[in-house]
Amino acid sequence: SYLYDSTLPNSGTVPTGLLPDLTLTDQSQLRDAIRRERRAELALEFQRFFDIVRYGQAYAQQALADRPNFNYSRNRFYPIPQSERDTNKGL
């Protein structure tokens, strides 16, 4: 269920601890906070892979440091199955 102003106590104030105040003024700190939030919110929705690829090779190597088999250059795009490559000579 969604949280609307009419359902919140104290006529529209956010309950304590629900949403922390962001007081960041540095761009890189704000970007890191957004990335942490996306990682938590989209953990089970298979969005993490796309975020890692979008953020670039340096971020991917840091985020996947515990996975030595991940090669950013090779795993950046989904592979095209050989059967599709055999069928479509334009690939």
**pLDDT tens per residue, range 38-63:** 888 887 887 877 888 788 878 877 77
The tokens describing 40, both together, are: 């938590």
What pLDDT was estimated at residue 68? Answer: 76
> pLDDT 10s digit of each residue in the chain, 91 long?
465 656 555 555 656 666 667 788 889 888 888 888 888 888 788 787 788 878 887 887 777 778 777 777 777 776 677 788 789 888 7
What pLDDT was estimated at residue 14? Answer: 59
How far CA 83 is from CA of 46, 75, 78, 79, 88, in Å, comes to: 25, 19, 15, 12, 9
